[in-house]
C-alpha cells in the first residue's frame, strides 16, 4: 500500500507509491497506440479499464460498453488506495499516514484525437458536471480531507496517454499549497472582513489590463504575480467557496469560458502542453478534525481554476529558492490572449 510521509522542514506531504512505476509510460505507449494499438480509453476497449464509477451514455447503451460520452473510472495505477483503514503514525520525529484515498480518471470523450478546446460547450459541461459529482460523492467519505481535480495535457505536462482525460485524487490531508491559500484567505478575512479573492477580482475588473475574457458569471485573467508565461486563473464573479455548489447554468457558463481560454492558448501557442487544477474548499466534515477546522471557509475562500501552459521549464533556481522567473509580463500575456482570436 502507498504511504504519505511528511517533511517536517517544509511541512509538505509526499506520497510514496511504488506501484506507479508500473504504469504505461509516455512515448513508447503513445507510439504503440498511434500505430494501431489498443488505446485503453477508446470505445470498444472498455475492458482495458476498471469498471465505470459513473458515465454519461447514449440511451439504451450498457455500462462498460460502447455508447458513452464521458466515463469516470478508477485509475489502474492509483497513487492512493480507497480500501483500508486510515492510520496516522509517528516514526520518531517523522509523521506518516496510510495511503488511503482515491485516484480516478475522467475520460472526457470517446474521440481519440479531440482536445478539450475542441469540445462543444454542451460536452464540456458534462465533463465539468462529472468533476462536481465526483467531488460531492468523495466528500461523503470522512476519511478524505481534499479532492484535487487536475488535467495534464501533453507529454511535457505529464500526460502518459494521448487520449484526452483528466484526473482526480482524494487525499487524507489537505495539500500544502492549498493550505497556504486557505491560510492567506483566512488571515485577510480576519483583518478586513472581506474575501481576498473577491477584492482581487474587483481590482482586475477595474484595471482590465490582465483580464483575458469574461462572461456573466466568470472572469479569466493572468495573475499579477504570474509564475509562468500565460498562466491564467478562472474565478466565479460571485463569491463562492465550494466548486460543488455550481448550478447547471454555472456549469455551462464555466464550460464556455474554459473552452474560450484553452482555445486562445491553442491558437496563440500552437496547441501547447498545459496543466490545470481546480482549487476548491476542503472537506469540512472529516472525522476526527481539529477544533475550528477552517471555520470561516464560506466567507473567506473562493474556488478557482489555475491554468498553467508549459512553455518553460522549472530549473535549479526555482526548485532551490521557491522563486519563479517569468519572462512574459502578465499584462502582455493577457493582451496577446485577448487579441489571439482577432
Q: Which residues are catalytic?
A: 165
Rounded CA separation 326/342 (Å): 25
44: its cell numbers: 470498444
SS3 5: strand
* CA terminus-to-terminus distance, the chain: 52
Which burial class, exposed, middle or buried, applies to 46 when counting CB atoms under 10 A from its CB (0-12, 13-18, 19+)?
Answer: buried
Q: Which DSSP string corresponds to 239-255?
A: --S-GGG--HHHHHHHH
251: its cell numbers: 456549469
CB atoms within 10 A of CB 24: 14
Rounded CA separation 117/133 (Å): 22
Length of the chain: 342
39: its cell numbers: 488505446
**Angle in degrees, CA 305, 328, 322, rounded to 5:** 65
**Among all chains, which residue has been given the C-alpha cell 478562472?**
234
Q: Buried (b) or exposed (e) across 253-275, using 16+ Cβ within 10 A?
A: bbbbbbbbbbbbbbebbeebbbb
**Among all chains, which residue has been given the C-alpha cell 509538505?**
12
Q: Which residues sit opposite 14 in a β-bridge?
A: 5
290: its cell numbers: 481539529
Amino acid at each position: 500500500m502507498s504511504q504519505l510521509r511528511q517533511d517536517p522542514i517544509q511541512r509538505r506531504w509526499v506520497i510514496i507509491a511504488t506501484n506507479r512505476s508500473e504504469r504505461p509510460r509516455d512515448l513508447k505507449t503513445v507510439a504503440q497506440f498511434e500505430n494501431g494499438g489498443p488505446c485503453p480509453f477508446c470505445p470498444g476497449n472498455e475492458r482495458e479499464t476498471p469498471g465505470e464509477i459513473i458515465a454519461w451514455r447514449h440511451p439504451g447503451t450498457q455500462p462498460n460498453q460502447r455508447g458513452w460520452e464521458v466515463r469516470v473510472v478508477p485509475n489502474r495505477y492509483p497513487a492512493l488506495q480507497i480500501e483500508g483503514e486510515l492510520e496516522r503514525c509517528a516514526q520518531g520525529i517523522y509523521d506518516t499516514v496510510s495511503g488511503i484515498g482515491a485516484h480516478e480518471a475522467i475520460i472526457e470523450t470517446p474521440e481519440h484525437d479531440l482536445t478539450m478546446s475542441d469540445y462543444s460547450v454542451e460536452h464540456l459541461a458534462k465533463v465539468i458536471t462529472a468533476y462536481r459529482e465526483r467531488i460531492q460523492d468523495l466528500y461523503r467519505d470522512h476519511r478524505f480531507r481534499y479532492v484535487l481535480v487536475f488535467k495534464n495535457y501533453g507529454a511535457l505536462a505529464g500526460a502518459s496517454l494521448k487520449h484526452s482525460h483528466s484526473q482526480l485524487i482524494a487525499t487524507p490531508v489537505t495539500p500544502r499549497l492549498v493550505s497556504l491559500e486557505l491560510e492567506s484567505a483566512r488571515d485577510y478575512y480576519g483583518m478586513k472582513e472581506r474575501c481576498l479573492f473577491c477584492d482581487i477580482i474587483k481590482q482586475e475588473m477595474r484595471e482590465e489590463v490582465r483580464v483575458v475574457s469574461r462572461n456573466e458569471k466568470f472572469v479569466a485573467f493572468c495573475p499579477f504575480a504570474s509564475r509562468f508565461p500565460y498562466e491564467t486563473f478562472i474565478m466565479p464573479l460571485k463569491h463562492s467557496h465550494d466548486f460543488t455548489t455550481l448550478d447547471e447554468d454555472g456549469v455551462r457558463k464555466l464550460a464556455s469560458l474554459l473552452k474560450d481560454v484553452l482555445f486562445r492558448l491553442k491558437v496563440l501557442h500552437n496547441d501547447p502542453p498545459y496543466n490545470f487544477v481546480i482549487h476548491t474548499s476542503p472537506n469540512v466534515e472529516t472525522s476526527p478534525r481539529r477544533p475550528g477546522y477552517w471555520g470561516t471557509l464560506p466567507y473567506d475562500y473562493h474556488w478557482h481554476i489555475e491554468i498553467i501552459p508549459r512553455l518553460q521549464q522549472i530549473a535549479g533556481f526555482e526548485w532551490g529558492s521557491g522563486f519563479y522567473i517569468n519572462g512574459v509580463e502578465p499584462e502582455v500575456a493577457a493582451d496577446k490572449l485577448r487579441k489571439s482570436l482577432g
